[in-house]
Amino acid sequence: MPGLELRELDIDDADQWIALVLRNRDPLTASNDGSLPPSTMAEVRQWLSSIGERDFQPGIWLDGELIGHVMVSHISHARASEQSKAEMPGSFGVGYWLDSVHTGRGYVTEACRTLMDYVRREFGATQFVSAVKEGNPKSAAVLERLGFEVTQNSNGEMIGYRLVDPRSETALGRTPVDGPISAT
Ligand SMILES: CC(C)(COP(=O)(O)OP(=O)(O)OC[C@H]1O[C@@H](n2cnc3c(N)ncnc32)[C@H](O)[C@@H]1OP(=O)(O)O)[C@@H](O)C(=O)NCCC(=O)NCCS
């Protein structure tokens, strides 16, 4: 998509990030347990320094402006039980959000698809999981466009989703991606 790209955040982006989070406080708190993504300089600093090797959390940028966030994290970086980590070595968790003034144009679907393809190629991802709070049809629609299906693992008001790649890990290939990850 023209002008759309994924770029990792660094501390120089913190002011823009915090303004974006605070501007979207209501939809962000409504879509999860009520907490916000990092929204002070200290929280942003701590968060950026904790991002792991197979933990991709780039900003979504449109013509150079930060408009949202996508996360694809190896399951060992998410809150998974030891047993599920062992059962799902090629499994990655997916999350996302977008500035409310930029919704309705497919940016998040495109950003997720680009990052998931990157993780398939580079890290042999074979399965993606996510969860959506009941009553968030826009988020469920993102996952459905990407091919996710509802799982039996729904927990309280969170509905579990899963996408299993039909190809085997060895068939995925390991072609490295040169240059920045781009959603264009
Ligand atoms: C959930 C959220 C990211 C969805 O945003 P979104 O803009 O609807 O998602 P996308 O960027 O994929 O865009 C899809 C919309 O663009 C439209 N669209 C236009 N061009 C498109 C394209 N090329 N590809 C896909 N969709 C396109 C779709 O029809 C859809 O619009 P509709 O809902 O009116 O049918 C956003 O509402 C949000 O950030 N909410 C608050 C936080 C949140 O809920 N996060 C998820 C927690 S689980």
Say which CATH number the domain at 15 has. 3.40.630.30
pLDDT of residue 183: 41
In a domain, 157, yes or no: yes
- Following CA atoms 104, 67, 30, 11 in sequence, which dihedral angle do they give, to the nearest 10 degrees? 160
In a domain, 181, yes or no: no
The CA-based diameter of the chain, rounded to the nearest angstrom, is 44
| CA-proximal residue: ligand 1, atom 40 (nearest) | 97
Please state, in angstroms and as integers, the Cα–Cα distance from residue 126 to each residue in 27, 159, 163, 170, 171, following that order.
31, 21, 8, 10, 10
Q: Which domain holds residue 139?
A: 4-172
24-42 pLDDT, tens digit each: 999 999 998 889 999 999 9
Please state, in angstroms and as integers, the Cα–Cα distance from residue 134 to each residue in 33, 45, 72, 150, 151, following that order.
12, 31, 21, 12, 14
In a domain, 106, yes or no: yes
**42 CA from centroid of ligand 1 (Å):** 30
103-152 pLDDT, tens digit each: 999 999 999 999 999 999 999 999 999 999 999 999 999 999 999 999 97
In a domain, 153, yes or no: yes
Find tokens 């994290």 and name the residue.
Answer: 73
The span from the CA of 178 to the CA of 40, in Å, is 33
With CA atoms as reference, report the closest residue to 69 among 117, 15, 107: 107
**82 CA from centroid of ligand 1 (Å):** 33
In a domain, 71, yes or no: yes
Number of structural domains in the chain: 1
29-75 pLDDT, tens digit each: 999 888 999 999 999 999 999 998 889 999 999 999 999 999 999 98
In a domain, 180, yes or no: no
**pLDDT band (50, 70, 90) for residue 172:** very low
Instruction: Give, for 19, the enclosing helix (H) or strand (E).
Output: helix 14-23
Is residue 88 pLDDT above 50, yes or no? yes
Higher-scoring residue by pLDDT: 145, 178 = 145
Which distant-in-sequence residues (6+ apart) come within 8 Å of 153 by Cβ?
A: 160, 162
In a domain, 182, yes or no: no
Structure tokens, 170 = 């060895």
Across 90-101, average pLDDT:
96
Please state, in angstroms and as integers, the Cα–Cα distance from residue 124 to each residue in 78, 110, 172, 173, following that order.
18, 20, 6, 8
- 133 backbone φψ class: left, alpha, beta (φ>0; ψ -120 to 50): beta
The span from the CA of 172 to the CA of 65, in Å, is 33
Q: Ligand 1: does its nearest atom lie under 6 Å from the Cβ of 174?
A: no
Q: Ligand 1: does its nearest atom lie under 6 Å from the Cβ of 144?
A: no
In a domain, 22, yes or no: yes
pLDDT of residue 83: 59
Atom of ligand 1 nearest to the CA of 108: 11
